[in-house]
Amino acid sequence: MPAARIGLHGNNKSDDELRRALEAGVGRIVVDSFTEIETLDQIARGLGTRAPVLVRVTTGVHAGGHEYIATSHEDQKFGLSLASGAAFDALVACQDAEGIDLRGIHTHIGSQILSLEAFQESAERMLGLRAAFRAEIGVDLPEVDLGGGYAIQYTPAGEALSPHDAAAGMAEAVAAAMSRVGGTWPRLSIEPGRAIAGPAGLTLYRVGVVKHVGLEDGGQRQYVAVDGGMSDNMRTITYGAEYTATIASRLSESEPALSRVVGKHCESGDIVVRDVDLPSDIARGDLLAVPATGAYGRVMANNYNAVLRPAVVSVADGASTVHVRRDTLEDLFSWDVAPD
C-alpha cells in the first residue's frame, strides 16, 4: 500500500511511531491531543519536514452498538472536544506550528451504526467548526474526514446500513450544511473499513466436543466446542456481539437443536455464537463456518493460554492462497529468553 494513502490513528502514538510515519511518507497523521501536536511538531522539524495532519474532533454525537465502541461523546479518551473549544484551539496550534501542515479535520463517532441521523448530525457539526475556523482565522481547511462505523449484517435477523443509502444521506447532509455555512467545498473522505472487510471474511473452525446441557425451563442446549474462540474472535466476550454459524463440510437432514458455539479457553464467557440452530447430529471433526469475521477478527487475535492463531487464506476460482501463515509452537518459543 503506498504510504501516501495511509492515515495513522491512535490516541497515544509513540515518538518512534510518529517518526516512522514521517520517514515513510504516511499521507495523514490524525492528531489526538495537544501533547501529540507539540511532539509531532518537534519531530517533523528535526527531520526537516512538515507533518500532514488532520485534527480528530469529538463532536458529542453518541452512536454505536456498545459503549466501548462509541467514540465521539465527551467523556472518553479519543479526540478533542468541539463543545469545550479544545478542537478549535488544536486547529490554531497546528496552524501555528512550523513542522505541521494542517490539512483538515477528522471525526469518528462509533462502530456498527445503523442510524444515518448520527452521521448527518456529526457532519453538520464538523462543517460548522470548519466555517468557524475560516471566519476567525481566515483559513478554509481543505479536507474533512467523516470517519466510518457503517453497520454490517452479522446474523440472518441483523441489519446493515446500505452503502447507497449512507452515501446519499451523507451527501445530502453535507450539501445542506455547506449551503448554510458557505465557503469552498472540502475534499471529503470516509473510512468504511468494517463495511468492506467484515463481509469478505469468515472463520472456519473444526468441531471438537459436543455436549448437551439441561436448562431451567426443562429444555436442553447443545454446546459445540471448536478449536478456537476468544483467541481469534474477541468481539463476543468484549461487546456481546452476535454471530451465526453453519456446518461447512457436509449437508445434514437432522433436526435442528438450540446450540451455543464455544471456544476451548478456560473462560465461561469464551463464546463464539451465543444462540444458533445447528443440526442435532453435529459431531467431532465437522467444519463450522462463522461468517462476517473479516473485520476485528485476526487484528484482535491473541495467544491466550499459548493457543496458536489460525492462518489467513483467500479463496477464488477454486484455488486458495495463504496470506498470513498459522502460528507454530516454534513461533511462541522464539520469544522466550533462556536464563544465563
Residue 266: active-site member: yes
- Look at strands 287-291 and 202-214 and give their pairing: antiparallel
Question: Cell 478456560 sits at which residue?
Answer: 266
Residue 156, Cβ neighbours under 10 Å: how many? 7
Nearest to 198 by CA among 120, 300, 62: 300
Q: Could you give the CA distance from residue 165 to residue 171 in angstroms, rounded to a whole number?
A: 10
Compute the half-sphere exposure of residue 243: CA atoms within 13 Å on the CB side of its CA: 30
**205: number of Cβ within 10 Å:** 25
Dist CA 261 CA 263 (whole Å): 7
Active-site option among 266, 316, 337, 338: 266
Q: How far apart are CA 83 and CA 119, in angstroms?
A: 17
Q: Which residues are catalytic?
A: 266
